[in-house]
Chain A
Amino acid sequence: MPEWLNILLWSIGLFALTLLLVRLLGKKQASQLTLFDMETVIIVGVLVAGISVKLIPAPLGLVALAVWTILPITLSFLSLKYKSVKDVVQGKESVLINHGKVMEDKLMEARLTSEDLLSRLRQKNVFQVADVEFAMLEPNGDVSVHLKKDKQPLDAKTMGVNVARHSVPQTVMMDGVVMDEPLTAMGLNRDWLHTELSKVGVDPENVFIGQVDSTGQLYLDLFDDAVQVPKPKAKELAYYTLKKCHADYETYALSTQNQKAKEMYAQSAFELKEIINELEPVLIK
């Protein structure tokens, strides 16, 4: 057998073997690899390359390969079970900034200069150390940053705004085909879908994607983008009708001469206002 054919067969065999080994080593992405993982991967790579061009005698190489795959796998299983093993193998996370103060000794331990720290913080969009309440060096070398409360982005809770809990919309049509399972999960059926489609005047075959939100509004994207589909407005309509009714009530309350009716209108207007406020997050936002 000529030498090149020999190497070809070897390489193909090793290719399949490494594919299997890499799968066994776990599902982590390159960016999540700890130093130890990286080392294992490099050594496995070097060994395979060496064996495939016969720099390393095959039996010796295969033994080394076996050690360098079985040991990391065992260790990773052990580190799932025991925190102490995990700390040794994957490294421990360390607190770099606590209560807004930089821990210089921890920085030293991690071999990070102040410049490194600043650069890592900048990558997290933090340009001032004083904004950071807490920062942690993760085992894979990433820095996680927790900002001080007044520097955190606004959310609905800090604003004191009521927001509705939206359930996930269901996709009920794809490529013109009706998906029965999501439809029935929403408690709807094909008849309902066809009624809604004929309301907006759209052929089922023309629908590329059709989604139903939690209140049963149908949102469509068509194959033919020249056709304008009216956006579902039932929620907005309900909201603004209620607002109009509220305004009507206030007018009636002002214009009527009958004292009893005046009170009734004012009371109802007040109640309507409350209902409108409660429904606003669901209907508008």
Chain B
Amino acid sequence: MTVASQVKQTMASLKGTQSTLQSMAEIEQNEDTKELFNSSTARLDGIIKKIEDRVRELEYQEPQYKGF
């Protein structure tokens, strides 16, 4: 597995977990816990943005591994 595909896999896992947390936040009744879920997803957003940029860089360097 190339580095690019590994990084992409991590990115996909992060996105998946983020959406799981989002769906839990929707159902959660307790305001504090809901807030916690929401802030976590917001922070994950930032992390995902950065890794997306990195994936773009990697694809630029190794265009033969572009796409999935």
Contact = CB atoms under 8 A, between A and B. Distances in A.
Interface of A: 164-167, 186-188, 214-216, 234-235, 237-238, 241-242, 244-245, 248-249, 252, 255-256, 261, 264, 267-268, 271-272, 274-275, 278-279, 282
A179 to B, nearest CB: 16
Interface string B16-58: 1100110110111110110011011001101100110010010
Given A164-B33, A248-B10, A279-B40, A268 B20 contact: no
B28 A215 contact: yes
Nearest to A251: B6
Contact of A216 (B17, B23, B40): B23
Nearest to A248: B10
B36 A248 contact: no
A234 B39 CA distance: 19
Given A252-B6, A252-B7, A279-B37, 17 more contacts: A165-B33, A167-B33, A187-B26, A188-B27, A214-B30, A215-B27, A215-B33, A216-B24, A216-B26, A234-B24, A237-B20, A238-B24, A242-B14, A248-B10, A267-B50, A275-B40, A275-B43
20 contacts: A165-B32, A165-B33, A167-B28, A186-B27, A215-B28, A216-B24, A234-B20, A237-B20, A242-B14, A245-B13, A245-B17, A252-B3, A252-B10, A268-B51, A271-B46, A271-B47, A275-B44, A278-B40, A282-B33, A282-B36
Contacts, number: 81
A279 to B, nearest CB: 6
Interface of B: 3, 6-7, 10, 13-14, 16-17, 20-21, 23-24, 26-30, 32-33, 36-37, 39-40, 43-44, 46-47, 50-51, 54, 57
A107 B4 CA distance: 79
B30 to A, nearest CB: 5
A235 B24 contact: yes
Dominant secondary structure at the B interface: helix
A187 B50 contact: no
Contact of B57 (A186, A261, A268): A261
A249 B14 CA distance: 11
B44 to A, nearest CB: 7
B21 A238 contact: yes
Given A261-B54, A272-B47, A278-B36, A165 B20 contact: no
A279 B14 CA distance: 14
A7 B36 CA distance: 72
Contacts of B17: 238, 241-242, 245
A284 B37 CA distance: 14
Given A252-B7, A272-B47, A282-B36, A214 B13 contact: no
B10 A249 contact: yes
